[in-house]
Structure 1
């Protein structure tokens, strides 16, 4: 899924947002929404970001910037070449720049396959500054693709809506599943690859096996107990060993009809999300739920989400607990989420 957002920095709308919520729009790491007077809509956006942070997803990192022609992106003072500003990375060069808030298109052009740079220094460059300038020009050539139009932000999931959206459950669950399939949740094996110094690579839940994505979501004995409970609830045999990619990519499951497939997908996605949430509680708060409580939470959350998001389901709570596969469709034989 891709949602493009215009990024005209000097428009009245952007200035209003900054004046009310700060330069980062209230999406920075130090925001405290309980003491700030946000509008309901903006507060909801911020809450989504906080919910994603709880499961290890950085809300801001899900947005990708397209520079366009560079006319509304500042060369030195905006983040466009990475998670940094060139003025911070190359402060000596920046001090020599005559126009600190210069835009990209005033310093860089690309035409007929040729890059042209128009620098304006307060004095000539000497010594190491020549090397730093070479780094900057190389970064420009590798980081941007100048094209017509202004810059914009895109929210990218990296795959089609068909495989990563299920209208029966919140979109944050789909985002989490996509991250799991891509191996982009912060399990200890992945953190170790980035050079982070950890006390141990063992799973925080079982303290027995090195924590990989597969282990955390499917193979840990605590995760297996949860899956056993969920499969028993649906009157299905316990799952066999598999990978998370196969697990989430499957369009069918033994014993589950095509009518029930979308609901079953909602259940396994929700289960995975709550297993990971429990793992994080153990890691950061040293508090973990018993597997039976997680299964109960799956039943509760899934019931609430599915009933509220589908026009065609007619379930009573006791029916849901006793026989969730006995769907209540009076008119249709497929799910039609609202």
Structure 2
């Protein structure tokens, strides 16, 4: 329930006394004596007042004339509910806090579950491996920002209240789904093709998760322990090249050519493995370009 948030509308479907609309306790629990004295103990919020020139006014009715100490409790009750604003004509409902539009999706729930399984120790471990990976500084910063949810992807821009037309929220690689971090890098059919080609190049077969932390940890453990250093650099390189090509498609009217992107990834990794001494890998470029098998 931590990702759900109740949003009060006009109060028609919410019980004034018996629902948790003001906090962790119901008003019946907070003010039991007034609850017993109420003339409408099962009534909705909407039934407890009226609209007067567009302004909501509470009109609580009691079974008898209240004593002075009971009137003090009424004052405390009104003080506790006056900050809650009803919205005329809007139904009560729940907001899914993980998405900007507040609407629940199975995809976002699955992502939350995956992130919950991996966080926080595994996420911290992933960030540490990324920061110490054999890759250029800019590429590591890109991967680190993506892992921390700080990339300027459409979903993150919407969370920051950046106005984006509905026509611009679609993924510019596949044009099939709205762009968010996990989709762009790990589940978009275009980026997924890149990952499968790279897996084949490495001589391994594996189904990778779509959650960023789980994806990274699964990828760097595809080989042996001695391969983790190289694989962390390879993962960063793929993420970086996908991001660069995404930006070319948006800002430079570039086109997505799988073979060209894969070649860029392999070429950059060739330079990185020479610079950062990634281990015993093919020494000539032709052999490197054809295959880097992690399997003996």
TM (norm. structure 2) is: 0.52
Q: In structure 2, the residue corresponding to 1:203 is in which secondary structure?
A: coil
Name the CA distance, whole Å, in 2 between partners of 1:293 and 1:306. 20
Name the CA distance, whole Å, in 1 between partners of 2:278 and 2:140. 21
Q: In structure 2, the residue corresponding to 1:288 is in which secondary structure?
A: coil
1:291-331: CA deviations, max 9, x gaps?
1111111100000111122186461112212331369xxxx
Please state how far the C-alpha of 1:197 moved relative to its aligned partner.
Answer: 1.8
* Distance verdict in 2 for CA 1:312–1:206, change over 3 Å: closer
Structure 2 residue 209 is matched with structure 1 residue 241:
yes
Structure 2 residue 185 is matched with structure 1 residue 217:
yes
Name the CA distance, whole Å, in 2 between partners of 1:242 and 1:225. 13
What are the residue-to-residue correspondences of 1:50-61 with 2, within 5 Å?
none
What are the residue-to-residue correspondences of 1:36-185 with 2, within 5 Å?
162-185=128-151
Please state how far the C-alpha of 1:233 moved relative to its aligned partner.
Answer: 0.8
Name the CA distance, whole Å, in 2 between partners of 1:230 and 1:213. 20
Name the CA distance, whole Å, in 2 between partners of 1:230 and 1:258. 19
Within the candidate set 243, 252, 256, 1:285 is matched to 252
Q: In structure 2, the residue corresponding to 1:273 is in which secondary structure?
A: helix
What 5-or-longer segments of structure 1 have no aligned partner? 1-157, 328-338
Structure 2 residue 224 is matched with structure 1 residue 257:
yes
* Distance verdict in 2 for CA 1:262–1:233, change over 3 Å: same
Please state how far the C-alpha of 1:232 moved relative to its aligned partner.
Answer: 1.1
What 5-or-longer segments of structure 2 have no aligned partner? 1-122
Name the CA distance, whole Å, in 1 between partners of 2:294 and 2:199. 15
Judge conservation of contact 1:307–1:313 (CA < 8 Å) in 2. Answer: no
Q: In structure 2, the residue corresponding to 1:216 is in which secondary structure?
A: helix
Name the CA distance, whole Å, in 2 between partners of 1:284 and 1:213. 18
Bigger proportion of residues as helix: 2
1:232-259: CA deviations, max 9, x gaps?
11121153333011122447433x1112
Please state how far the C-alpha of 1:266 moved relative to its aligned partner.
Answer: 0.9
Judge conservation of contact 2:170–2:179 (CA < 8 Å) in 1. Answer: yes
1:20-75: CA deviations, max 9, x gaps?
xxxxxxxxxxxxxxxxxxxxxxxxxxxxxxxxxxxxxxxxxxxxxxxxxxxxxxxx
Aligned residue pairs: how many? Answer: 170
Please state how far the C-alpha of 1:198 moved relative to its aligned partner.
Answer: 1.3
